[in-house]
Amino acid sequence: MTIEPRTKRFVLGGLLVAVVVAAVVSQFASLRPDGLEYVADQQGFADNTIEHPAAGSPLADYGAGVTDNGVVGKAVAGLIGVAVTFGVGYGLLWAANRKRRGAGT
């Protein structure tokens, strides 16, 4: 790995910001429907929605079912989401990068 310390610090600092946004700031998110949901209700095609197969999973709707405590559930969902997106993104982009370099070291 040839990543300078100050870039490493930037990434770690950025991850800290992402964790705070996903676990803490998200607690204050508006619960109103988003733009598409609003239009779907208004135009009358919201009823066509088929429930997501994983709608009953503990992490569905960002942790609603993780615990009885909604705040904790959302914080846990936020932490998991940040970790998984970072991990999957890292793996996929690392593989794309490695392939170019001829699967060397």
Partner 1 sequence: MHIPDGIIDGTTSAGYAAVAAGGLGVALRRTGAYLSEREVPLAALVAAFVFAAQMVNFPVIAGMSGHLLGGVLAAVLVGPAAGFVVLTVVLIVQALVFADGGLSALGVNVVDMALVGAVGGYAVFAVTARLLGGIRRRIPLAAAVAAFLSVPLAAAGFVLAFAIGGTAGVSLTKLAVAMLGSHVLIGVGEAVITGVVVGAVMAGRPDLVFGARRLGEEVAA
In the complex, the residues that contact partner 1 under the rule CB under 8 A are 1-4, 7-8, 10-11, 14-15, 17-19, 21-22, 25-26, 28-36, 38-40, 42-45, 48-55, 57, 59-62, 74, 77-78, 80-90, 92-94, 96-97, 99-100
CB of 20 to partner 1, least distance (A): 8
Complex with partner 1: residue 54 or 68, whichever CB lies closer: 54
Q: Which of 58, 50, 62, 54 is nearest to 26 (CA)?
A: 62
Give the C-alpha separation, 66 to 74, whole Å. 8
Buried b (16+ CB within 10 A) or exposed e, 71-82: eebbbbbbebbb
Complex with partner 1: residue 7 or 69, whichever CB lies closer: 7
Cβ contact 15:82 at 8 Å: yes
Structure tokens at 53: 């197969």
CB of 8 to partner 1, least distance (A): 8
CB of 68 to partner 1, least distance (A): 19
